[in-house]
Structure 1
């Protein structure tokens, strides 16, 4: 068993998994076996470390552990390895597409559903965020910073910016809120309502 653990540790380290993640994977035998199968399915030409892909393989393994019959899993694994899928958001979309498409799976629809090839510069993110906030200016001015978190979530869920770098989106939204509303003030302090429990 120690030999297996050492071999698995070496293999996962070569793919770019951090020591802590490897330890966590080794604790869950089912997910570990699934992850190793996915790495085989990815069919890497080499074992060069690709640290950015490790969380993606792990996300696919987690999804596969929940659904042992995940269709097109080898295709998704290869899409990670060849760099078409770069974020966990894309992995979630790939898993959803594979389940929904079934026998109707095709490359073009997969790429579109998963945002393959979609990228945004920081400047493009800023412009799209400005437009989104301008459409909701009245609501934001009324609700102020109470809707900041919801605005970020809605942009990430309901627009093509779900494929953009999450930090770029958050930074752009924060900047637009500051520009529109100014710094937070007493209107933005959430007052805690204390409740008194009377025992009779």
Structure 2
């Protein structure tokens, strides 16, 4: 699965798209390997400096083998494994075409990696947050348990909150709504989907204002 995801990421890095990744910890234990992805161009200029050499261990090892320049930044300091999260340094990595992997969530308890992904997306001025999962998008109920679950193509943040749809936690949806960050939910396991989403094809579910 790691090799598959790395190949999917490589397909869009070649387009010149700036990409950062947040991996949900709970999904590592469940074996789903669902990812939160976002892409977008930084609109201003950063003043940071590039970090040290490319990380080739932990989550960055497999992308490294695919010829993708990566950096791991973690919200909890662990210098022997990864860089500390420093926004200006992250922006500099993105400008240089490196894929940045944000680890350890937000570094705070009581906040999920969903919320951390929205937070990081806003900090790096991402154009969109991509919620990569194992179904085709957002449904009105769990499609794995309910054969009659209805697919939702587009929906507003407020409707997600009012109906308490379990695509992301409510704090993450509220933060995205407050900052007008569009969300795209799509099936990671279908080959080429990340490429299709980035190229503007009609894939998955869009959550916006």
Q: TM-score range by the shorter chain?
A: under 0.3
Higher RCO structure (Cα 8 Å, ≥6 apart): 2
| Structure number having the greater helix percentage | 1
Larger Rg: 1
Q: Normalization by structure 1: what TM-score?
A: 0.26
Q: Going by fraction, where is strand more abundant, 1 or 2? A: 2
